Each structure stands twice: as structure tokens, then as C-alpha cells.
Structure 1
Amino acid sequence: MTYHLAGDSTVAPMKPQESPMSGWGQFLQAHIDAPVRNLAFGGATTESFLSSGNWTELLSEVSMGDIVIIQFGHNDQKQPELAARSGYTDRLRRMVADVHEQGALAVLCTSCERRWFDDAGQLIPTHGDYPNAVRDLAHELDSPLIDLTAFTSWLYEDLGEVESTRLLSHFAPGEAAAWPDGLTDNTHFRVEGAERIAAYVARSLRAIERQGGDQPAKGSQVVS
């Protein structure tokens, strides 16, 4: 059995020239016993992942019993044709169907939340209707769901506005060679954050598998 990852920069492998910025997919292998193929890439939408050929490449090595983990939304929400209840979910629906045709299991993920706090120290939701659209699609398709919007929102709020910066790409001048003048990025993880999310995804996958999610369309499993 193999885990296959489709997603955007919050999932994608670390680029050496951007270290220690990384997506959580970089660290999933450390928390599970099966191989991981990570085809996620920065800037990806559901449409560009399909049109670039990455989806075809991913499917080419998907076998019966494998698990395909799908997380998009960050970049889809910037494109009107990929609205939450139309182009975005249309493409996710196609991806789930393609995975099931291979005899594999598709697991949908909501987007990792951005770390944006208001003046009162409350986290600001930034993905609009996209997380709810994925939740509803998972229910419609009886597809397992890992709610990373809910988890990361809780995580940032639990750590607090100051401590949660340790998970994101906040680099002081001279701290990271890629950004000699420093960086404040509240979307992309540094290693510490990517590892934390990967550990949660692995735990969620184990829960899905224990609950009988090892067959396509077995029943919606929400892990949050």
C-alpha cells in the first residue's frame, strides 16, 4: 500500500532553496509505515494539478488498496472559475471518482488555515466557503475527510498569537539563507509546523483505516 499526495505548497516537499519552509507532506513518511509519493507543488489549484499532468502521473502508479490524499483550496479561491460550489468541487469530485476507478481510497482534506489574528487576538478564517464545500462533498461522496482547517485553527489559537509563529515561516534576518533579510509568512510552514501537521494527518489516516476506510466509498469519516 502507498500513500499518494495531491495538493498545493502547504503539502509540497521542501525546496532546498527555500529551506526550512516546507509543506507537511515532506514529513508524513516519518509517521507511517507505508511509502509516500508527494506530487504536490506550489501554487497548485485543482485545475492546474489536472492540466499540468501531475494528476495523470499520480494515477499512473496508484494501485488497488492505495490511499490518495487530496488537499487544495488556497489558490483555487483566487480564481473565479474555481468557486467553492462549482469549479473547485467539480474537479475534486472528478479526482475522487478517478481514484475509486483505480480501486483506491480518496481522502479529502480541508485547507490548512492561514495564521491571521485580529486586533483582539482572535483567529480570522480566510477560506470562506471552501472548507464547508469540501465537508459537504465528502458527505455526498461518502469519502473520508481530514479537517485540517479545524485542526490548524485550533492549533494556532491554542498556542496563541505569539507562540504560533514558531509553526510558520517567520524568520529573523540571517536566520534562513533563503531570506537573508528575514521573512514573515503566515501561510507556509517551517519545519516545526510541517512536522506537527504531518503527525496529525498520520494519526487521522490510522483512525480512518481502523474505522473501515480501507474500501472506496465505505462511509464518510470526519477526523478533526
Structure 2
Amino acid sequence: MKILLAGDSTVANCPTQEFPMSGWGAHLAPLTYTWAAVHNFAKGGASTESFRSEGLWADLLAAAGPGDLVLIQFGHNDQKKQHLAARTGYAANLRTMVAEVHAVGAATALCTSVERRHFLDVPSSDAVLEESLEDYPEVVRELALELGVAVLDLNAWTRCLYLGLGPDGSRELFCHFAPGGNAHWPDGLADNTHFSQHGAALVAGEVARQLGGLGYGAKQRLAGTTAGRG
């Protein structure tokens, strides 16, 4: 089977010149190679609207078919557009996407957006993580129930991860470089949205774990074994 990814930069295979910045989709294939091939259509800056207008959604649908799984994670860039508010344009676009995936015979799982690392300026012992994505994650949870599809709650999981590591420990999950500390970012970088290789790999591991909890992986391997006995 194929796992096809629709999303933004937090999911995408980032360009070489942005290394070590990475989306979690770039690290998923090694975790699923025994039962699924990963096709990552995610793109930096994408919203539910631009993903369609740029032709990426059409390309994904053309590659999807019965037995495949489409994972959809947007929100970061929809949030920047008033007409893509969580309960209006964003929700409508996700409903359409799910219907179109099902029309080609594939399954869908909606992913809540990974959280940004925005800690409020308080003592580390009283760490408070801002809910930077407003009601977008909650709308995804509601839509999953409404449409009868699976949800991977990456927002809840990343929030727990950052809070567990604290403001200092969680910094290594993101792209923070001092000037001169990285060849691709000579002026330095303090980015609390885009993952480092380490951060992206951790999120990919959680995606694989949640897919396993939904029954993916084991049943695909079993089906392959059964087919091989013929």
C-alpha cells in the first residue's frame, strides 16, 4: 500500500539548502517500509487552498487508489488567511478533501497540526505553552468524528512533548543556530515552528505509532505473508 502525505512545511521534505530543517514526513518511510511506501506531496507554505490551486492535490489523488491511506495535516498557513478560518473555509476544504480521497477508493486520516514552540515568558518551573493554533486542532477532531475518519492527534502529542522537555530541552527539536553555527544558516536562526532532524524524526515515530494503534502495519504485513503462501 501507499501512504500519501498532504501538508505544509512541518510535514514536507525540506529543500537541501534548508538542512537540517525537516518536516516529519521526511522521516516516515524508514518506519513503514515493511508494509507501505510513503509518497510525500507536502510543501512549505501550503494551505488547504494553495495545495489544490498549485496542483499538488490533483497529483496526490492521481497517485492514490484502493488500499492506500492519505494523511492530511494543514492549519499553520490557513490560520494566516481570514477566509480559511477554522470553522469556515478550512473545515469546508477538509470535508472536500476527505470526500475526494474516498471517491478514489483510498482511506483518510486527519492530523491535527503540530504545535509551535511558543513558551510564555515565565520561570521554567512554571512553563506555559501557548496554544498558537487556536481552534484549528479542535476543528480537526470534530471533523474526524463527523466524517467517520481516523484522527492522529499530533497537536496534543507535541504539546506534551514540549512541556515534558521544558523551554530549554525542547529547543533541540527545532532549528536554533548561532551565527556561524550552521553552513546553511550563516546568520543564525531561532525558529520555533520548523523541526530539526531530531524533532522531525520524533514526530514521525509518533505518527507510525498512532498508525499502528489504528491497525495499520500488522494487517498489511499479514496480508503480504498470506499472499506469498499461494
Normalising by structure 2, report the TM-score.
0.90
Deviation at 1:212, TM superposition (A): 11
Structure 1 partner of 2:208:
202
**Partners of 2:69 and 2:153 in 1: CA distance:** 17
Q: Following superposition of structure 1 onto structure 2, how do residues 1-224 of structure 1 map, counting pairs within 5 Å?
A: 1-33=1-33, 34-120=36-122, 121-209=127-215
**Partners of 1:10 and 1:208 in 2: CA distance:** 22
- In structure 2, what residue type is equivalent to 1:171? F
**Partners of 2:62 and 2:98 in 1: CA distance:** 15
User: Aligned pairs, how many?
Assistant: 214
Residues 96-147 of structure 1 deviation map (CA, whole Å, 9 limit, x = unaligned): 0111111111110010000011122211110111111111000000110001
Kindly report structure 1 stretches of 4+ aligned residues shifted beyond 3 Å: 210-214
Normalising by structure 1, report the TM-score.
0.92
**Partners of 1:127 and 1:89 in 2: CA distance:** 14
Deviation at 1:171, TM superposition (A): 1.2
* 5+ residue gaps, structure 1: 215-224
Deviation at 1:175, TM superposition (A): 2.4
RMSD between superposed Cα atoms in Å? 1.6
8 Å CA contact retained: 1:105, 1:213: no
* 5+ residue gaps, structure 2: 221-230
Relative distance call for 1:212 and 1:98 in structure 2 (3 A) is: farther
Relative distance call for 1:123 and 1:56 in structure 2 (3 A) is: same
8 Å CA contact retained: 1:39, 1:54: yes
Q: Percent identity?
A: 53
Deviation at 1:211, TM superposition (A): 11
Q: Single out whichever of 174-183 and 16-25 deviates more from structure 2.
A: 174-183
SS of 2:49's equivalent? helix
**Partners of 1:31 and 1:173 in 2: CA distance:** 34
Structure 2 partner of 1:217:
none
**Partners of 1:156 and 1:112 in 2: CA distance:** 11
